[in-house]
Chain A
Amino acid sequence: MLEARLSSFLREGQRLQVSAAAVGAVALAVVLLLLPNWLSGYWLRITTSVLMFATLAQAWNIITGFTGYPAFGNTAFFGVGAYALAILVTKAGLGIPAAIVLAGLAAAAFCAVIGLPILRLQGHYFAIATLALSLFVREAAANLGWLTNGAIGIVLPTLASGSPEEITRPYYYLMLLVLVACCACTWWVSVSRFGYGLRSIKADEDAAACFGINTTLSKLVAWVLSAFFTGLAGAVWALWITFIDPQSAFNLAIAVKFSVMALLGGLGTVAGPVLGALLVEVLTQAIWGAFYAVHLAVLGLAIMLIVLLMPGGLMQLLRDRLATAKRLLATPSAKESWR
């Protein structure tokens, strides 16, 4: 009797949670689709940048947050995506949509080739190897002049003309599309059999193998997915920025930024990296405005404080708060059922 009432109460709660999530998702989608109509060109650029970094942080989350492999050198795939798009559009004359998809696939294919040897390394060694990879690809881009124009770089055609808002709009929607696809993939990872394999590898790779998980293949697929979305973001970025060279396309500062964002938001969660990207970008803008001369120092201080105060990231903090709230809510109702 008591059990039946309790479980129906819990089912009711679950239904409410699911419908609340659905309403929230639809509202968010509408806001994101209409956002360009309300923002100035300046804020539209910042928002597009948030979408790009959220994608990079989320893609990094697949290999680092879920699988436990700190792939700081993901900038290599960002650059490969950017260059692949630039070459496909300017030299092969491909249409934009096909070029974007192919650029993502090029980054994924590149990852599949270099992934097998590098994924044999673990921990710091893996992290350093990926950084070396990024530097190597940058040098390659600078020296393969016949393909990449070397240090001169490649100029790309613009997609739109007119006011600053109109110019930025197509890139905003493209970035949004890439981010949504990346989040959908991460969500799938978080609930699927494949994702359980990745989380087992993160916890203990040897044990994971003993449970029947093909660790080599799982790690490789995780990194290839990560590289694919990173490459897509690089491709859209190249279109948006209209000029790429080795220095800007393989910029390790980008890696610092997306990894800080993912860490702040919460690794191994779907919402975390997106929230982290939003927080860091807004913080950067606010601090930049308020402390013009020393904004980098203040930003660094803010990030240190956040990491110290919430080591599990934003999502952990939210989960803890939610758990406390649920406990407080659950207590009186449990008492009621006893009567």
Chain B
Amino acid sequence: MSATVAPALDVRGVVKGFGAVRAVDGVSLAVRSGEVLGVVGPNGAGKSTLVNIISGLVKADAGEIAYRGVPIHRLSPDEVARLGVARTFQIVKPLRDLSVIENVMVGALFGRRQCRSTREARRIAEEALAQVQLGHRAEAECRKISTGETKKLDLARALAMDPDVLLLDEPLAGVGARESQTLIELIVGLAKSGKAILLVEHVVRVVWTISDRVAVLHHGAKIAEGPPKEVAADDQVMAAYLGERYIREVLQRPADDAEPGVSSDGDGGP
């Protein structure tokens, strides 16, 4: 681990309790530019809370978060977003009353770009919609689009913000198989273009295929981190949190034929 440059996103010892429950319990993670860090764990493991803390929506009880070496854990969500950290939502909240393209324009107008003209924002939004292959629905009312399209809309809006760091909270939940493939290719491409991506996802297979490193959360604590293959080989972790049968039947198969999707330089392992 010879990191001479500060990671794009550095999370250190973050703690968050809700009443007696420790939702996030001393989690440390680092995501470098150009890599996908997959975060998995069962329901209630604290994945979404972690994303909420990084994006500034929820304030941590303890711990520090830095974006390119600059502390951001005391900033408000809009300040974090304007610096270049964009997020998507597990349950997408499209801005009702706005069309699909207007939803995406909001990202260009208020994200790091701070676009002053709505015309310029529209052009950027068109590009972002094309990237997620939703261009044909640009003028649709967002209450009339499907769940999968909502997910794409959410991602397009995050892209329109021109972020360095993308926090993707289950971007594939509710998305059909073919559309999933499109999004997976897009996410891999975004990482290659230099973005740091933190990917929280329930579809474990996808995380294993496209992540450079994987972190496993359980009861708010990080119990394993490393290249997907190493983590998958950690029998104890996998048996406890993904189920033995799942490993046997699902993971070991695609792990072989998904080699091209897995980046080779899986450094930063434990």
Once the chains are docked, how many angstroms separate the CA of A197 from the CA of B121? 13
Known contacts being A191-B118, A196-B102, A203-B95, is A209 close to B57, with CB within 8 Å?
A: yes
* Segment of A42-50, A108-116, A212-220, A229-237 engaged in the interface with chain B: A212-220
B115 within 8 A of A: yes
Chain A count of residues within 8 A CB distance of the other chain? 21
B257 within 8 A of A: no
CB contacts (< 8 Å) of B57 on chain A: these are 206, 209-210
Do A196 and B118 touch (CB < 8 A)? yes
Contact indicator per residue, chain A 199-210, by CB within 8 Å of chain B (1) or not (0): 110111011111
A193 within 8 A of B: yes
CB contacts (< 8 Å) of A212 on chain B: these are 78, 81-82, 107, 110-112, 114, 161
A268 within 8 A of B: yes
CB contacts (< 8 Å) of B82 on chain A: these are 212
Contact indicator per residue, chain B 96-120, by CB within 8 Å of chain A (1) or not (0): 1110001001110111101111100
Do B78 and A215 touch (CB < 8 A)? yes
Once the chains are docked, how many angstroms separate the CA of A193 from the CA of B89? 23
CB contacts (< 8 Å) of B106 on chain A: these are 196-197, 200, 208, 211, 213
Once the chains are docked, how many angstroms separate the CA of A196 from the CA of B121? 11
Do B77 and A199 touch (CB < 8 A)? no
Once the chains are docked, how many angstroms separate the CA of A191 from the CA of B112? 21
Known contacts being A193-B116, A212-B110, A212-B112, is A199 close to B78, with CB within 8 Å?
A: no
A192 within 8 A of B: yes
CB contacts (< 8 Å) of A203 on chain B: these are 93-98
Contact indicator per residue, chain A 79-121, by CB within 8 Å of chain B (1) or not (0): 0000000000000000000000000000000000000000000
B87 within 8 A of A: yes
Interface residues in B49-63 by Cβ distance below 8 A to A read 55-57
Residue of B nearest to A204 (CB): B93
Once the chains are docked, how many angstroms separate the CA of A200 from the CA of B102? 10
Known contacts being A210-B87, A211-B81, is A197 close to B110, with CB within 8 Å?
A: yes
Shortest distance from the beta carbon of B171 to any chain A beta carbon, whole Å:
15
Do B78 and A209 touch (CB < 8 A)? yes
CB contacts (< 8 Å) of A191 on chain B: these are 118
Shortest distance from the beta carbon of A201 to any chain B beta carbon, whole Å:
9
Shortest distance from the beta carbon of A58 to any chain B beta carbon, whole Å:
18
Interface residues in A155-192 by Cβ distance below 8 A to B read 191-192
Once the chains are docked, how many angstroms separate the CA of A200 from the CA of B121? 15
Do A213 and B97 touch (CB < 8 A)? no
B218 within 8 A of A: no
Candidates A200, A206, A268; contact of B77 at CB < 8 Å: A206
Do A207 and B95 touch (CB < 8 A)? yes
Shortest distance from the beta carbon of A49 to any chain B beta carbon, whole Å:
31
Shortest distance from the beta carbon of B137 to any chain A beta carbon, whole Å:
17
B236 within 8 A of A: no
CB contacts (< 8 Å) of B110 on chain A: these are 193, 196-197, 200, 211-213
Do B87 and A200 touch (CB < 8 A)? no
Do B102 and A268 touch (CB < 8 A)? no
**Residue of A196, A197, A206 with most partner-chain B CB within 10 A:** A196
Do B109 and A209 touch (CB < 8 A)? no
Residue of B nearest to A207 (CB): B93
Shortest distance from the beta carbon of B86 to any chain A beta carbon, whole Å:
8
Candidates B76, B111, B117; contact of A211 at CB < 8 Å: B111
B157 within 8 A of A: yes
Once the chains are docked, how many angstroms separate the CA of A15 from the CA of B97? 26
Once the chains are docked, how many angstroms separate the CA of A204 from the CA of B150? 15
CB contacts (< 8 Å) of A211 on chain B: these are 78, 81, 106-107, 110-111, 157, 161
CB contacts (< 8 Å) of A197 on chain B: these are 106, 109-110
Do A213 and B78 touch (CB < 8 A)? yes
Residue of A nearest to B89 (CB): A207
Residue of B nearest to A194 (CB): B109
Once the chains are docked, how many angstroms separate the CA of A211 from the CA of B92? 13
Once the chains are docked, how many angstroms separate the CA of A266 from the CA of B102? 20
Shortest distance from the beta carbon of B215 to any chain A beta carbon, whole Å:
22
Once the chains are docked, how many angstroms separate the CA of A199 from the CA of B55? 21
Residue of B nearest to A68 (CB): B97
Once the chains are docked, how many angstroms separate the CA of A209 from the CA of B95? 12
CB contacts (< 8 Å) of A210 on chain B: these are 55-57, 77-78, 81, 86-87
**Residue of A202, A208, A212, A214 with most partner-chain B CB within 10 A:** A212
Candidates B55, B78, B86, B109; contact of A196 at CB < 8 Å: B109
CB contacts (< 8 Å) of B111 on chain A: these are 211-212
Residue of A nearest to B102 (CB): A196
Once the chains are docked, how many angstroms separate the CA of A206 from the CA of B161? 16
Once the chains are docked, how many angstroms separate the CA of A270 from the CA of B206? 47
Once the chains are docked, how many angstroms separate the CA of A210 from the CA of B57? 8
Shortest distance from the beta carbon of A292 to any chain B beta carbon, whole Å:
41
Known contacts being A193-B115, A209-B57, is A200 close to B78, with CB within 8 Å?
A: no
Once the chains are docked, how many angstroms separate the CA of A204 from the CA of B86? 16
Do B97 and A199 touch (CB < 8 A)? yes
CB contacts (< 8 Å) of B94 on chain A: these are 203
Shortest distance from the beta carbon of B90 to any chain A beta carbon, whole Å:
12
Shortest distance from the beta carbon of B18 to any chain A beta carbon, whole Å:
17
Once the chains are docked, how many angstroms separate the CA of A203 from the CA of B107? 14
Interface residues in B107-162 by Cβ distance below 8 A to A read 107, 109-112, 114-118, 121, 157, 161
List 11 A-B pairs, Cβ < 8 Å: A192-B118, A193-B115, A196-B109, A203-B93, A204-B95, A207-B95, A210-B55, A211-B161, A212-B82, A212-B112, A213-B110
Given A203-B93, A212-B82, A212-B107, 4 other A-B residues pairs in contact with their CB atoms under 8 A: A192-B118, A199-B98, A211-B110, A212-B110
